[in-house]
Amino acid sequence: MARWQTWRWVLADVLPAGEPIAVPVHEPQPVAGLPQEVQPLPGAVVVEGARYWLYPGLHVTLYRDDAEGYFLNLSSPQPCFWVFWRADEERLIDGEPMAVPQIVTLSYHDAGRWLDAQERVDQVPAPAEVVDWLRGFVAEHYRAEPKRRQRPDSFKPLTDRFGQPVRISTDKPRGGLSPAGEGHGR
């Protein structure tokens, strides 16, 4: 934290609230509850002077078509949750906007898109039971794309900068200037 910064928002953890359930695709997503100031959990690292907020009701939704993003998360040294959050100018604490989580995901692809868009994204390690659950989902839905043999460049056709085929001729040029600058006659 910088000298001039009196405080900052830090993601402490993502707490699973229950067992995973299957939800129909067209079912409305539950709305997150209002933030509640809480005490740190027993055994948590406590920072002196820090305040802790709980944002209940955020859901992690897994999609079959993003199984590769979950696979990449599992392939990392430490699988994690990513939390995309924004500052809420309407909710102030000590005159500063409150950080409000928008989405929680386990997808490497989602986190990458948000970071590319310059959004605020934090990560915390996923607990073992979440990693096991995610591993089961990936095992059921992820199919690696078969690797395609890459053709050596020497076999690729030559093209100009517009993509048009190029033909290389080994014949000596006809006409034009000679090395001495004189034209060839016929």
Amino acid letter, residue 40: P
Residue 182 has pLDDT above 60, yes or no: no
Using pLDDT thresholds of 50, 70 and 90, give the confidence band for residue 183. Answer: low
Whether the model pTM is above 0.75: no
Tell me if residue 128 falls in helix, strand or coil: helix
pLDDT tens column, 86-131: 888 888 888 888 888 988 999 999 999 999 999 999 999 999 999 9
Using pLDDT thresholds of 50, 70 and 90, give the confidence band for residue 11. Answer: confident
Q: Is residue 106 within 8 Å of 60, Cβ to Cβ?
A: yes
- What pLDDT score was predicted for residue 113? 94
Q: Is residue 102 within 8 Å of 85, Cβ to Cβ?
A: yes
Phi-psi region of 158 (alpha: psi -120 to 50; beta: other; left: phi over 0): beta
Q: Name residues whose C-beta falls within 8 Å of residue 37's C-beta, 6 or more positions apart in sequence.
A: 51, 52, 53, 54
Residue with tokens 């934290």: 1
The C-alpha atoms of residue 56 and residue 130 are separated, in whole angstroms, by: 17
Distances (CA, A) of 27 to 24, 61, 104: 5, 12, 18
Residue 85 has pLDDT above 70, yes or no: yes
